[in-house]
Structure 1
Amino acid sequence: MALSRAEIETLAAKLIDGRITPTEQEQLNQWLNAQMAKDSYEIETSFANTPEELRQRMLARILDAVGADSHPRTHSLWQLWLPYAAAVIVVLLGTWLFFGDRLMPDGGQHPETDAIVKITPEAIPPGGNRATLTLADGRKIDLSVSQKGIIVGEDNITYADGATMIVPHIVDGNWTSAPAEILTLSTPKGGTYHVTLPDGSTVWLNANSALKYPSKFTGNERVVDITGEAYFSVMKDADKPFKVISGGQEIEVLGTEFNISAYPDDPETKTTLVEGAVQIVNLAANSRTVRNAIYQLAPGEQSTTRGTTTAIEKVDTELFTAWKDGLFYFDGLSPQAAFAQLGRWYDIDVVYRGRMPIVRFFGMIGRDKSLASILKILEKSGVRFEITQINGRNQLIVLSE
């Protein structure tokens, strides 16, 4: 179906604003299908009172997805988006790829001893404020779900409200005079928390992550270790650089904001710089040769470290920091990457059965939404799901013909 550039933009804008009629929706679908040749393209949105900057951005995403040229680009602020974050998912359904039956090594069959129970998505709630603080002597403290973070102060550790004390001291005697000890803040799947470090820097932990840090910073540098994903807002101290060890790399900063994703099951470590400047050392490459082992990032850049190689590219930083503001933000994300996020946040194991379509997910939705509401939207892509519980563990089984 032939549509002019102006007609395409008008229909896409109406789609995003929720003003599109069934006839116009069919016109847009026919045009999209024609652009995708043998592929199909489905769009599902639920916007209301969408701010102009967000409308323009999603318009750009749709036109990008079908290869439209020279459309307006804007830069939006999360402050404008957050009130409207209940959201949109745009699903691009592409060609099909055979993944094989990956449910279980035996082709999807379970031993008779396994207790398998089908459950509904409504039974699986979203994640929340969940974390454990591990002290140097091995004591573990399950932190309050009604709090969002903790503060490591000069005399004690309190919750972020500053009123409730968690640990009055680490060892017998005065905290201030006690030697620095390594503490660990860890979140389970379905958990998030933040910590204000002794120097005033703040670290937000995503689900299934752990941060090791000292009870006080001594010496001429501040060093922490992260596994999983975390967002850092580092206080400036020119005399004491801040270093982060993660996933085969070391990051050195003076004062900046950046996101690190370094999950053990992900072969890549991604560092996304929001503000300031950081220096990244690829530890694997540095052990072999000093050449090309040190990299500098500027705001809006992301480094991807995989083994001895590190690549740098320009990115939309909001895609990689949205989780801190309570959002899933997909911009052409693959199903494996999208389902990995859902698996960590809803504490479910994701497995694939049969033929899995190559899909690309675009849009935003609040992480406070139920798993059922998200799956209902994703099913528009033609992917089907089952939720089962096997020996007490919830599984999201991705199905397709």
Structure 2
Amino acid sequence: MKTFVKAAGVAAALGLMASTALAQGEKVRVGLMLTLSGPSAVLGQQARDGFNLAVKEMGGKLGGREVEVIVVDDELKPDVAVTKVKGLVERDKVDFVVGPIFSNVAGAIHKPVTDAGVFLLSPNAGPSVFAGKGCNPNFFAVSYQNDQNHEVAGKVAQNRGYKRVYLLTPNYQAGRDAMAGFKRHFKGEIVEESYVPLNNLDFQSELAKLAAAQPDAVFTFMPGGMGVNLVRQYRQAGLADKIPFLSAFTVDESTLPAQQDAAIGMLGGSNWAPNLDTPQNKAFVAAYEKEFNAVPGSYSMHAYDTAKLLDSAVKSVKDLSDKKAVREAIAKADFQSLRGDFKFGANGFPVQDFYLVKAAKRPDGKFQTEIVEKVFDDYADAYAKDCKPAS
């Protein structure tokens, strides 16, 4: 009997060791859900390229394990996104979903992903509804809370003594977050809050109203193709030399290749710029430009950071089915962010620095944003206090 018990114990131990080894050696499966078609496709393409660059530099692995990256296009359609993300979760059995770019898509896929016990890591969208009372232990924004880059513009407008500002943004969650962010620090008069349909490309009506109002400045959030057209039309209307242009995501590395000289000197709020002076950022920018012959933007930077974050988390856990351990490993954020300072708040959103940046033309003829000044240091979002983390 003693011999049998001893043999059974050895067998159980060997079985446990085999199980652990299997867990440690399992392939990591990541679903990238990004906008890869339509006027805003460049945003998703930058995120895809940034994530894949990081994985390539890590030898095609995350945490030392082989990784399979499944890329899907949400088409900027929430209903399409829900169908596709359910495929990632139920059919492909992904361990992590990385995405999306737009907040209306984030709102649609958040529940089906997190309810399935899968971790959703956003490399861009940071809706306010998920930062406060609606926070979820399976959701992490590796980028920012939507309001924050716009808060930079509001703070700068206030500091520069602007009394009257015209606001212009698309009519969806991130647009409303942009307005809230700007107004959090700007205490002057809002001449008008103008909302346009998402993916609107003709701004002649809005620019006519803006010119007639003669504000001290304009603040806008127009990502992707919307930003390209707005900046071109703003410059063509002769407004660029008359009314200061403050923005976020309107003039950045995703839009500058098309805007070019029309955008030079325009200001924006950001948590990063290609010329941020850290060794890891210099290496990233050089590698990205060599790989893709383009200047990286915040979309690619955040996605690169997301891959590095996942690498650190996977490396520190023995079994990806241990959700509590994985969650704690992600929350620890034990990686070197390209932006320097980075940690997660209790709501799964970053605490980080924010800057005023401006569009510039480099000596080599390429365009990029460059840091003008730091506006917020180790800045947490305004909603974190309302998040009650799961015990």
Relative to its length, the structure with more helix (as a share) is: 2
TM-score interval, smaller chain: 0.3 to 0.5
Relative to its length, the structure with more strand (as a share) is: 1
TM-score (norm 1): 0.32
TM-score (norm 2): 0.33
